[in-house]
Structure 1
Amino acid sequence: MLEVGLNNYRMRQLNKELIMSLVWRHKVLTKSHISRLTNLTIPAVTNILDELLEEKLICHSQQNLSSRGVGSGSYSLPNTLPMTLCLNVAPTKIESQLVDFQLNPVGELQIKTIEAKTPAELLNSIMKLFNGYKAKHARNEIQLAIALHGQVDPEAGVSQNMPQAPWKEHVEVKYLLEEKLNCNVMIDNDCIMLALAEKWLGTNEKKDFCVINVDYGIGSSFIINGSVYRGSLYGSGQIGHTIVNPDGMACSCGRYGCLETVASLNAIKKKVRTWLKTHADVTPDVIEGFNTEQLITLWREREPTVYKLVEDGANAIGLSLYNFLNILNINQIWFYGRSCQFGQQWLDTIIHNVVINPFDPANSIKKNATQIEFGQLTRQQQLMGIAYLYVEESLSEFRF
């Protein structure tokens, strides 16, 4: 017999999850504030808070947040929770940001250049970085939250494919680091990091949205009904491997004509280097050293060849995104990545290919029409998003 509706226990668990998510988001809350945000009565809120206090998931302070009236103190996360070291890891660079038990930043974002030629060298760089933070905060427990480029199995803690890496084998990142460092480790894709950052630190209140990262490659991540959608094989969001030209260039995935071969920074720079070889006055060193900053400069100067390559890429992104929108009907899109430096004209080209979405309201002025914008979170905030893997895990425990 199928269970219908919600019994009292399940409803109570959902309300506990709701209140805990508010505490994680707002850091410190009063009972009356929780009541207003949840539309629960004060007695109902009191009972749930008492349970959360008994379970040591929150703590209570007699300090009132308002001088008006007689308050009942405030509620926050216990300071016994560990700090989290947030890492964004690639074979050539590791970005790091430490956060405290409430996921507030501790210190500044750090960037370390590395040259990892093997998985062991990459793991050694991570361990060395972790031990440096641990030495500075010896009295605190520190856990790791790691964002990795490419396809990741977050359940097994395995990096399945890292496009920039010289190796092709799977790497058991979670198991190996937990064994060596004796700390908790969670890993996921770098686009999941951006999606979680938008969900928890952004101003967007929609439960359905998408983030797209256009950089070395092109990745995306979806938040559907407030939850990250990964797919059963953790391959959701591989917009960069949608085929836009079956007769196009070979892609690293083994197929031909993927979006990444047309619109990623890596692909465009390769094509520009090929074009530069036709110029007798351009030396091999200049061609080899051609970088993203030079590409963007040529774009802004409207150099014809570069301008067309970037425009073609933007058009291809827009058409691919149009197809995604028709399938999922998500109408809030945030763009991140170094390609955002191409500016508003680049974004407008993408938008032009999306506004014909037949599922948008006829009047595009309506607030529910598709919104495609540059993400506004700082790089520090983006990196902090990966720490919310632990928050999402803790909240999921209320659903069983």
Structure 2
Amino acid sequence: MKQSSRINVNLMKDYNKQLVLRTIQKHGPISRVEVANRIDLSRPSVSEIVSILIEEQWIEEKSSEVKVRGRQPIPLDINKEKKVIIGLEIGAYSTKVIVSNLKAEILNEIAIEMDVHKNPNEMIEYLGNQINLITERYKANQIEVLGIGVGMHGLVDTEKGENIFAPNLGWKNVQIKSILEKITQLKVLIDNDCNSAALAEMWFGQGKDESNFISVIVDYGVGASIINNGSIFKGSHHVTGQVGHITIDPDGPLCSCGNYGCLETLTSETAILKKVKRKLKIGEKSSILNQKDNIEDLTIDDFYIAVNKGDEFCINITHEVARNLGLGFTILINLFGPRFIVLGGSLTKISDALIPIIKEVIQLKVMGEEAKHTPIITSGLGDDLYTIGAASLIVEDIFSLPRPNK
């Protein structure tokens, strides 16, 4: 047999094996027959691949829940007990490390305060040592740790595994991948937190059954990630999806990126809290003052509580934020034409007040009647979005289909 023929045969075997595994991960519990029907592969081939995947502890047979006469198909599902992933979220103010199984169920979680004045290399080394303490317990119980996914804010070079610029941390050109791999001896994948969050939506959230959508995150910053044909759309300069740094008001506030009037300066948690305090100091009235004695002690959570209690002052500010977000969403819809947009991040706590206004702006400004009604939905992953997103970098790597040029 020619070398190229052997390569093609091996590639096809790898492809089919990965296709079966991916199908079980996406749709399990699922029978062998259902797998074969979904991917148009012969039942004997599926059965042969399933046997290999069970032996390698990727999947397991489950008990059938329906008890009827006759032989029952045996459901297959991902083995949640034998393989785990580390998800590392490096945020502007704190960092979380989780251990997750392949179904995005969090088995362990620790939070670590970030010291922005400390050398970033030392911080990454410290995180690596903390991860080693966590993984030792799993390895001792014969549980395989598949890798570390790292999601962080700012600009990231995914190929080099390098933080290019994290404005809220003040980090530049930090070799995160190489440092962590050296300390932990595990595979490390890194991306910005918006892209990793979008993968979480695609594998475990609102985008599980959709291949063209946009994920927008709004909390201390604002960012977006475009899922196009089931993959993250990436440009050439590591800045794709930086919707938070689109200029909305040229005369607006100074942004951490150095420009003025970015969307982030008008809609982020930091921007909201600044506006709340400024307006209260000049005499505007709000029930939010009942929550703290001192205006400077107010937090963004106080604002969320006041909005959900119907405080008029806070709702008016929310509507201003929503109108500006609507302008950002309009740009995304006009450029990329997504099936829907998923809103994630802490602002989902007031999504009932935000989304109707966002939709009004979209219907007013988006081109095309169908696009004007692009659904805006809220992420269901809550506070775990970033950490599950980080872990999803490894999930995407494990379950992606092989390509000839890989």
Smaller-chain TM-score bracket: 0.7 to 0.9
Report the count of equivalent residues: 384
Specify whether residues 131 and 18 from structure 1 end up closer, same or farther in structure 2 by C-alpha distance, changes over 3 A only: closer
Task: Tell me the distance in 2 between the aligned counterparts of 1:238 and 1:86.
Answer: 23
Deviates more, 1:111-120 or 1:145-154: 111-120
Give 1:149's aligned residue: 153
Give 2:361's aligned residue: 353
Deviates more, 1:381-390 or 1:180-189: 381-390
Task: Tell me the distance in 1 between the aligned counterparts of 2:24 and 2:370.
Answer: 36
Q: How far apart are residue 186 of structure 1 and its match?
A: 1.5
Give 2:135's aligned residue: 134
Task: Tell me the distance in 1 between the aligned counterparts of 2:338 and 2:386.
Answer: 21
1:291 maps to which of 292, 299, 306: 299
Q: Give the SS at the match of 1:256.
A: coil
Given that residues 360 and 370 in structure 1 are in contact (C-alpha distance below 8 angstroms), is that contact kept between their aligned partners in structure 2? no
1:223 maps to which of 211, 227, 238: 227
Specify whether residues 273 and 254 from structure 1 end up closer, same or farther in structure 2 by C-alpha distance, changes over 3 A only: same
**Taking structure 1 as the reference length, what is the TM-score of the superposition?**
0.82
Q: How far apart are residue 201 of structure 1 and its match?
A: 1.1
Give 2:378's aligned residue: 374
Task: Tell me the distance in 2 between the aligned counterparts of 1:344 and 1:308.
Answer: 13
**Taking structure 2 as the reference length, what is the TM-score of the superposition?**
0.81
Q: Give the SS at the match of 1:353.
A: helix
Deviations 1:285-332 (A, max 9, x none): 93443310222345455354x544432221011012112101111031
Specify the code of the residue in structure 2 equivalent to 1:187: I
Superposition pairs of residues 110-121 of structure 1, within 5 angstroms = 110-118=110-118, 119-121=120-122
Task: Tell me the distance in 2 between the aligned counterparts of 1:136 and 1:145.
Answer: 19
Given that residues 87 and 94 in structure 1 are in contact (C-alpha distance below 8 angstroms), is that contact kept between their aligned partners in structure 2? yes
Q: How far apart are residue 136 of structure 1 and its match?
A: 3.2
Given that residues 65 and 74 in structure 1 are in contact (C-alpha distance below 8 angstroms), is that contact kept between their aligned partners in structure 2? no
Are 1:207 and 2:207 counterparts? no
RMSD: 3.5
Specify the code of the residue in structure 2 equivalent to 1:390: I
Deviates more, 1:226-235 or 1:75-84: 75-84
Q: Give the SS at the match of 1:115.
A: coil
Given that residues 195 and 221 in structure 1 are in contact (C-alpha distance below 8 angstroms), is that contact kept between their aligned partners in structure 2? yes
1:342 maps to which of 344, 350, 360: 350
Q: Whose helix proportion is higher, 1 or 2?
A: 2
Give 1:3's aligned residue: none
1:170 maps to which of 170, 173, 189: 173
Give 1:255's aligned residue: 259
Q: How far apart are residue 124 of structure 1 and its match?
A: 4.3
Given that residues 311 and 349 in structure 1 are in contact (C-alpha distance below 8 angstroms), is that contact kept between their aligned partners in structure 2? yes
2:195 maps to which of 173, 192, 195: 192
Identity of aligned pairs, percent?
A: 27
Specify the code of the residue in structure 2 equivalent to 1:95: K
Specify the code of the residue in structure 1 equivalent to 2:214: C
Q: How far apart are residue 127 of structure 1 and its match?
A: 2.7
Task: Tell me the distance in 1 between the aligned counterparts of 2:310 and 2:72.
Answer: 61
Specify the code of the residue in structure 1 equivalent to 2:22: S
Given that residues 129 and 184 in structure 2 are in contact (C-alpha distance below 8 angstroms), is that contact kept between their aligned partners in structure 1? no
Task: Tell me the distance in 2 between the aligned counterparts of 1:228 and 1:57.
Answer: 29
Given that residues 206 and 379 in structure 2 are in contact (C-alpha distance below 8 angstroms), is that contact kept between their aligned partners in structure 1? no
Specify whether residues 116 and 126 from structure 1 end up closer, same or farther in structure 2 by C-alpha distance, changes over 3 A only: farther
Give 2:4's aligned residue: none
Task: Tell me the distance in 2 between the aligned counterparts of 1:63 and 1:288.
Answer: 57
Q: Give the SS at the match of 1:384.
A: helix
Superposition pairs of residues 15-164 of structure 1, within 5 angstroms = 15-26=16-27, 29-43=30-44, 45-46=46-47, 69-70=70-71, 82-100=83-101, 102-118=102-118, 119-139=120-140, 140-142=143-145, 143-164=147-168
Given that residues 91 and 122 in structure 1 are in contact (C-alpha distance below 8 angstroms), is that contact kept between their aligned partners in structure 2? no
Given that residues 91 and 115 in structure 1 are in contact (C-alpha distance below 8 angstroms), is that contact kept between their aligned partners in structure 2? no
